[in-house]
Chains A and B, each alone.
Chain A
Amino acid sequence: MTFFTIVVRGLIRRPVRTALTLVGISIGIAAVVALVGIASGYEKSIDKQLDVIGVDIVVSNMSGGFLPKVFDESLQARIAKLPGVAETTSVLMEMESIEDAPMMMVSGREWGGFTWGKLNLMTGRMPRDGAEHAVILGRMAAEVLNKKVGDTVQIEAEELPVVGIVDGRSVVENGAIMLSLKVLQDVTGNEGKANFVDVRVTPNSTREDVRRLCERIKGIFPEGRALVAGEVVSNSQGFRIARAMSWSTSLLAIIVGVLGVMNTMLMTVFERTHEIGILLAVGWTRRRIVYMVLCESALLGLLGGLVGVALGALGVQILEHTTGIRGLLEPNLSPKLLLTSVTIAVVVGVISGMYPAWRGSRLTPSFALNG
């Protein structure tokens, strides 16, 4: 018989209680996996979008929260004149509730700008010109809205025909409704306004050149921000909030897990007072008792962590295929996240076992035997 046998025997003696505790921890860990996975997946897909459309610097006024405040379109012309700028394009991005879909990204892009060129037409056609009141849908947006070429989409008060469906190669683009900037300004009453200027720097620019350019942009647009594509995601206030929320919700779930395991381990120690007395009487050290209780709770944490990671991954899969959400999520369940979650579960187990272990080891053998 090994020490591990003793630890396992401690857990299987009360199978129902052990199972319920496992469910408790695993729900907590599943929440961590799902929330953090979805948040980081979203960040990653934004990052990918920027890559795909070839943006190097994004200029915006981030004081608006999730979506930046609008500014005058003329900013673009001023940025275009700066040294080291190859191309610029203004974008007006809105989040709108479209028919049954609660939040859809509507992206008005300056006609002829470089971001149009990266879209792959799947069916239909592109708008004829920047003045045509028509939209194209990203592949997943079409699926979510259940629209084909020839249908119409209502934005604010206007019904706009769908003329094409495109594959934009990133979740954000595929989930968006795209149209000419001018048309979106018309429809939403934002004449002459935009909330992003996407900038491409001249080829062969160094990091230092890009940094200097950002400084200059800030010089002409002090209330705004110029972010190098890779930094856009990590700096956006919206994402910071999303990340903070997913981790703080996770923290709550973890605290609930800790209380659950601690309760179970305390019950285990209390109901086993007599047995701990026997162990002490036959010569077990207090250290070994502590170690036994901690190993039990760590094992409980490990099992809960494994089950939780599986549950979380499964839950995310289900969410991904649920109508209404389908296509909007591209969760990022990285091995690092899974490993971190299991580690958190084990640490939760050990921490929760500390007090019960200490209680158990402090018993006087004769008292524990008789009492």
Chain B
Amino acid sequence: MNTMANLVFEGVGLKKEFDDGQVHALRGVDFRIAKGEFVAVIGPSGCGKSTLLQMLGALDRPSGGTLYYCGNSIPDLPNPSAYRAREIGFIFQAFHLLPTFTAVENVQIPMFETDLPASKRRDRAISLLKSVGMDHRLDHFPAKLSGGERQRVAIARSLANGPSVLLADEPTGNLDSENARLILELVVRLHREQNMTLVLVTHDMAIARLASRTITMKDGRVVSDNASAPDAHREKEQAIK
């Protein structure tokens, strides 16, 4: 039972339908993710990986089943924006930076939802950009940055309010292999150094092998859940019971 206290996410029979039930993106997904785990989610295109991640990040509501974050039902959170702002850092394949704001401004956007005084925002954004190696491009607009640089800025933004979970949806999908490697190293380093729970969606088996555990999905269902680290293995046992 003591692993229960470490549980970050728990989904039971999680379903998501689109277009009035014509599209079943998730057809009843069960999983548990413990604090500090690095979980890779893989599977063919259209199997529901992004949909699952959006449910975890409270970017959309499930159509059925239950989904908990640290014992609280995510769809019933009284303040979903506070959850998105403080608990979760989201990284997207398409970066999703705001085009009319500079790098250092983009990183400050999530800080409006915290108590951080306005005068401290810029300094914090600069130190975050420094930690992702982007302090030489503070006042550049996203259009003037390379793909790898944009993703670094997006990562710095995801860390703006010190989240405990990083959700990354194919963060290297738009990058060349060299940049992909650098971004991946950065994300894994953040996970290790700050003991952040990391859920990473990828197509790339080589990347998945870095994770302590791999969830494989197909057609809206989990088809395998392989732990490669001993403690994660225990989690899997728990989940099956």
Chain A residues packing against B (C-beta within 8 Å): 1-3, 5-6, 9-10, 13, 274-275, 277-286, 288, 364-367, 369
Contact call B100/A369, Cβ cutoff below 8 A: no
CB contact under 8 A between A278 and B85, given known A1-B108, A283-B161: no
Separation of A13 and B99 alpha carbons in the complex (Å): 10
> B60, B84, B100: which contacts A282 (Cβ < 8 A)?
B84
CB contact under 8 A between A366 and B54, given known A279-B109, A281-B90, A288-B112: yes
* Besides A6-B101, A13-B100, A364-B61, 17 new A-B residue pairs in contact (Cβ under 8 A), listed by A number: A275-B98, A278-B109, A281-B84, A282-B90, A282-B110, A283-B84, A283-B161, A285-B113, A286-B81, A288-B112, A288-B113, A365-B59, A365-B60, A366-B54, A366-B60, A367-B60, A369-B59
Docked complex: B147-193 residues within 8 A CB-CB of A: 157-158, 160-161
Chain A residue numbers with a CB within 8 Å of B88 are 283
Chain B residue numbers with a CB within 8 Å of A275 are 98-99
The answer to whether B96 has its CB under 8 Å from any CB of chain A is yes
Chain B residue numbers with a CB within 8 Å of A282 are 84-85, 90, 109-110, 157-158, 160
Separation of A280 and B54 alpha carbons in the complex (Å): 12
User: Separation in Å of the A252 CB from the closest CB of chain B?
Assistant: 35
Q: Select the residue from B54, B59, B61, B108 with max chain A CB neighbours within 10 A.
A: B59
6 contacts between A and B (CB under 8 A): A283-B81, A283-B110, A284-B113, A365-B60, A365-B84, A369-B59
User: Separation in Å of the B218 CB from the closest CB of chain A?
Assistant: 21
Chain B residue numbers with a CB within 8 Å of A366 are 54, 59-60
> A9, A13, A278, A284: which contacts B81 (Cβ < 8 A)?
A284
Chain B residues packing against A (C-beta within 8 Å): 54, 57, 59-61, 81-86, 88, 90, 92, 96-101, 104-105, 108-110, 112-113, 118, 121-122, 157-158, 160-161
Separation of A114 and B162 alpha carbons in the complex (Å): 87
Chain B residue numbers with a CB within 8 Å of A13 are 100
Separation of A1 and B85 alpha carbons in the complex (Å): 18
Contact call B112/A3, Cβ cutoff below 8 A: yes
User: Separation in Å of the B123 CB from the closest CB of chain A?
Assistant: 12
Chain A residue numbers with a CB within 8 Å of B82 are 283
Chain B residue numbers with a CB within 8 Å of A5 are 105
Nearest opposing residue in chain B for A365, CB measure: B59
> B85, B96, B122, B160: which contacts A369 (Cβ < 8 A)?
B96
User: Separation in Å of the B121 CB from the closest CB of chain A?
Assistant: 6
Chain A residue numbers with a CB within 8 Å of B109 are 278-279, 282, 284
Nearest opposing residue in chain A for B58, CB measure: A365
Chain A residue numbers with a CB within 8 Å of B157 are 282
Separation of A10 and B105 alpha carbons in the complex (Å): 14
Nearest opposing residue in chain A for B89, CB measure: A282
Separation of A275 and B105 alpha carbons in the complex (Å): 14
User: Separation in Å of the A230 CB from the closest CB of chain B?
Assistant: 54
User: Separation in Å of the A35 CB from the closest CB of chain B?
Assistant: 39
User: Separation in Å of the A285 CB from the closest CB of chain B?
Assistant: 4
Contact call B112/A284, Cβ cutoff below 8 A: yes
Nearest opposing residue in chain A for B161, CB measure: A283
Contact call A9/B84, Cβ cutoff below 8 A: no
User: Separation in Å of the B138 CB from the closest CB of chain A?
Assistant: 12
User: Separation in Å of the A7 CB from the closest CB of chain B?
Assistant: 12
Separation of A365 and B85 alpha carbons in the complex (Å): 13
Contact call A1/B105, Cβ cutoff below 8 A: yes
Chain B residue numbers with a CB within 8 Å of A9 are 100-101
Contact call A283/B59, Cβ cutoff below 8 A: no
